[in-house]
Chain A
Amino acid sequence: NAGVTQTPKFQVLKTGQSMTLQCAQDMNHEYMSWYRQDPGMGLRLIHYSVGAGITDQGEVPNGYNVSRSTTEDFPLRLLSAAPSQTSVYFCASSYFTQGNEQYFGPGTRLTVT
């Protein structure tokens, strides 16, 4: 199993550009989520999905869109990048039952200039 994979690993965008961060998992997990990690802030939930076709907002959803057309993939779209979106983004997945820890991808470091 590859686990949770994310691409790209690094990305630099100019303000106003759009892009999609890719996330895929091969563990047949129902639950997938996106977090951002900023210095001194821990991880904050952006969006999550409990299955294909179902998504919901987390703590900091503004400026981001998601979709879940398959169990395996959960892309995160930045519609119009802003410097405040400079962060490290982690995708995670787990089985959707109580007490299952989330498996995290390697992260994408995004810089918006």
Chain B
Amino acid sequence: ELKVEQNPLFLSMQEGKNYTIYCNYSTTSDRLYWYRQDPGKSLESLFVLLSNGAVKQEGRLMASLDTKARLSTLHITAAVHDLSATYFCAVDGAQGGSEKLVFGKGTKLTVNP
């Protein structure tokens, strides 16, 4: 059974600082997704990582995937208040198409001025 663990679950950081969110998963997969959720809102896709060593960047966020270590990271560079949200990783452990995504519990990020 695929399990996905994120840490930390809560992260409070100051503007301008850097930090990394970790996503570990328990079974082989080379398809990992990062989503953002603002309070009371739906989920917004951030990154799709499809192979070992994949790295994607958008603004102050950079995501990477190490399938051998079963680990993905979401790195935040010079945080700003607008990045405050909950971030979820999700792993697709199925063969074939997108089936049965398993989500981590989320990391609630608060960026303080």
How far apart are A37's CB and chain B's nearest CB, in angstroms? 9
Contact partner, B99, options A44, A50, A99, Cβ 8 Å? A50
Cα distance A35–B90 when bound, in Å? 13
CB-based contact B99/A107 at 8 Å:
no
A40 nearest CB neighbor, chain B only: B105
Stretch at the interface among B12-20, B43-51, B68-76, B77-85: B43-51
Known pairs A58-B100, A105-B42, A107-B42; A99 contacts B31 (CB<8 A): yes
Q: How large is the interface on B (under 10, 10 to 19, 20 to 34, 35 or more residues)?
A: 20 to 34
8 A Cβ contacts from B96-111 to A? 96-106
Known pairs A44-B103, A101-B33; A31 contacts B45 (CB<8 A): no
Cα distance A101–B43 when bound, in Å? 11
A contact residues, total (Cβ < 8 Å): 30
How far apart are A106's CB and chain B's nearest CB, in angstroms? 5
CB-based contact B88/A42 at 8 Å:
yes
Cα distance A58–B1 when bound, in Å? 12
CB-based contact B88/A43 at 8 Å:
yes
- Asked whether A103 is an interface residue with its Cβ less than 8 Å from the other chain, the reply is yes
CB-based contact A104/B105 at 8 Å:
no
A9-43 vs B, Cβ < 8 Å mask (1 yes, 0 no): 00000000000000000000011010100001111
- Other A-B contacts than A42-B88, A50-B97, A97-B97, 4 sampled, CB-CB below 8 A, are A30-B97, A90-B43, A98-B98, A104-B44
Interface, chain B (partner A; CB < 8 A): 4, 9, 31, 33, 35, 41-45, 48, 50, 88, 90, 92, 96-106
- Cβ contacts A to B, 5 pairs, < 8 Å: A43-B101, A45-B102, A94-B98, A104-B35, A104-B43
Interface, chain A (partner B; CB < 8 A): 30-31, 33, 35, 40-45, 48, 50, 58-59, 90, 92, 94-107
